Structure 1
């Protein structure tokens, strides 16, 4: 797993040797192969704490970046790593510089890096977004032609906090693009690949604040869009029709909002994090538009990126996250506290449905954090 680095952090691979490990991001499970070493954090558990999984950290580059991606860039069947201006070729992580990125205000202005074959030519391209450049763009992979990578703008009018690959056409594939524009006057929109390029679909004439997500909130079989101010209910045809807004909660700056049945009561719950403050939490769906907040951990700040994982291969809910480094250049609460990378494992009582979370510390006090994106 790549814990994407921030400013003066290192680009780091944290891996484990479990054959059936699964990684889930934006609601989708992917098989992953890992490698081995590190430790644990303890809560006062009522339920039995599971044994630790060993992890090992590999430092690929002492440079810095705001995001990272894992994909087969050169088509050799191996998963490579992309971070910042470079991609790292497996299995020896050979460094290839392929683009230049704006550096301004102490930020490398590439806040998302998403692997997607945009032009369907068989080569994995990269969708990127930036705050200061106000740009959503994609980089064309030239394949083995020897030509340079080329950038193609999608939007150039609004600052973008982050962007995700999601499933909004309900085909089971996370290949639609969902940016979170950083201006409330910007429309909430998603993009899909069409025969003539990317097609934009506007959901709302305005945006709803820092944080965005996708999942089936009302269990009708259609993926909805979640925001810090509530959720937008998907119509039968997500490309047209009205997305009904449900203002059922209100938060400040969040990361990605996931939908999952945390307590196994048959209702979809919500998992998210306070991107610029203390707190990872879940919202229990009490029915009739009522939600109860439960803290998972509020002992460290700036969990900007959270990815759903299943490290034990048993279809259990796990969260992989880490502290972002100086997200607002030191102005956030707890910004100068030590970096760390953690994963949280849901523990649930078979009869009572009591939910607890086991905290596992993968790295602490070093140069590795969670960044804006954990692929």
Structure 2
């Protein structure tokens, strides 16, 4: 599912979810930024949840159960900000909730996914005080992970992080100011250097740079560079690509993110993964997957073909792509 369509396997026949609109790649943006498939109404059919253009509505499209015609559209919230707003299981009930900002009030919030088919409203809970950082309509950088090892999922932005209370419905959460890099995309936590503390990984949405940020004994954060070989890494995923037990990075160049005006904006739209090797000084080895696709503002990595190999799905101004990871032949590089 992407934009106004769902694509039927195995021939990827397109079906319209709604009336498609024409978007010109060099003049503007579509109305679909972040996509998520889930059974919202718990009827056994996968529905489509779509975060639209920043600051606009989040909608879910109800699966018509193979009936013809457009899917019925329901509103989750009228406006959601931050270009890396996304879906996370905040309350640990096994269902992904919606996290983002309310630009008008400057609040970071989360919307609980329905857990009862009789009540399909997404209940809003406050994370931050009003006029908080990271809440502007076009803010860049957001992620969730356990930063203080208390078992609760905290919320990160480039200016710091909110500490989740035991009951995440109790807000506002406590904010910790921190320098977690430049304007970025999705942000992740992982103990990269084996010191028992969570580090933060981020990437430049419109400039050059992929980084990791390490907690220091003083409470400050130190930034380490992973790569600057291409720009506009506006979509990032942390996942074990090669099944060696270590979580790697998948990213790429967002094609025409600012109509070619960003640094390197007209260079080939690469898609790449970075093979992670842990240690006191962790390392990443870049592997180019493709040079004519790139990413949008989201990367989905899953075992799409059910063969125990991780595949990659991206959608952007060049199209919708599925990259199947092939088996490694003896004597060949991966």
TM-score with structure 1 setting the length: 0.72
- From 172, 177, 186, the equivalent of 1:247 is 177
- From 250, 266, 281, the equivalent of 1:354 is 281
- Compared with structure 1, are the counterparts of its residues 242 and 287 closer, same or farther at alpha carbon in structure 2 (3 Å cutoff)? farther
Aligned length: 287
- Give the conservation status (yes or no) of the 8 Å contact 1:118–1:125: yes
Partner of 1:313: 243
- Unpaired segments of 5 or more residues in structure 2? 135-139, 301-334
In 2, Cα distance between equivalents of 1:108 and 1:357: 33
- From 67, 73, 76, the equivalent of 1:154 is 76
Aligned ranges for residues 80-95 of structure 1 at < 5 Å?
Answer: 82-95=1-14
The answer to whether residue 293 in structure 2 is matched with residue 374 in structure 1 is no
More off after superposition, 128-137 vs 210-219: 128-137
In 2, Cα distance between equivalents of 1:167 and 1:315: 23
In 2, Cα distance between equivalents of 1:107 and 1:272: 23
Partner of 2:159: 229
Runs of at least 4 residues of structure 1 off by over 4 A? Answer: 101-105
In 1, Cα distance between equivalents of 2:235 and 2:266: 18
Q: Deviations over 1:99-131 (max 9, x none)?
A: 235556421121011112111221111111222
In 1, Cα distance between equivalents of 2:289 and 2:101: 29
Task: State the structure with bigger RCO (CA 8 A, min sep 6), 1 or 2.
Answer: 1
- From 168, 186, 189, the equivalent of 1:238 is 168
In 1, Cα distance between equivalents of 2:232 and 2:191: 25
The answer to whether residue 252 in structure 2 is matched with residue 325 in structure 1 is no
SS of 1:358 mapped into structure 2:
strand
Partner of 1:75: none
In 1, Cα distance between equivalents of 2:122 and 2:254: 31
Once the two structures are TM-superposed, the CA of residue 191 in structure 1 deviates from its matched residue by 0.9
- Give the conservation status (yes or no) of the 8 Å contact 2:256–2:266: yes
- Give the conservation status (yes or no) of the 8 Å contact 1:308–1:318: yes
- From 134, 145, 148, the equivalent of 1:215 is 145
The answer to whether residue 91 in structure 2 is matched with residue 169 in structure 1 is yes
Once the two structures are TM-superposed, the CA of residue 361 in structure 1 deviates from its matched residue by 0.7
What RMSD, in angstroms, separates the aligned Cα atoms of the two structures? 2.0
TM-score with structure 2 setting the length: 0.80
- Give the conservation status (yes or no) of the 8 Å contact 1:211–1:254: yes
SS of 1:108 mapped into structure 2:
coil
- Give the conservation status (yes or no) of the 8 Å contact 1:103–1:109: no
Partner of 2:106: 186
- Compared with structure 1, are the counterparts of its residues 137 and 266 closer, same or farther at alpha carbon in structure 2 (3 Å cutoff)? same
Once the two structures are TM-superposed, the CA of residue 133 in structure 1 deviates from its matched residue by 7.0
Partner of 2:186: 256
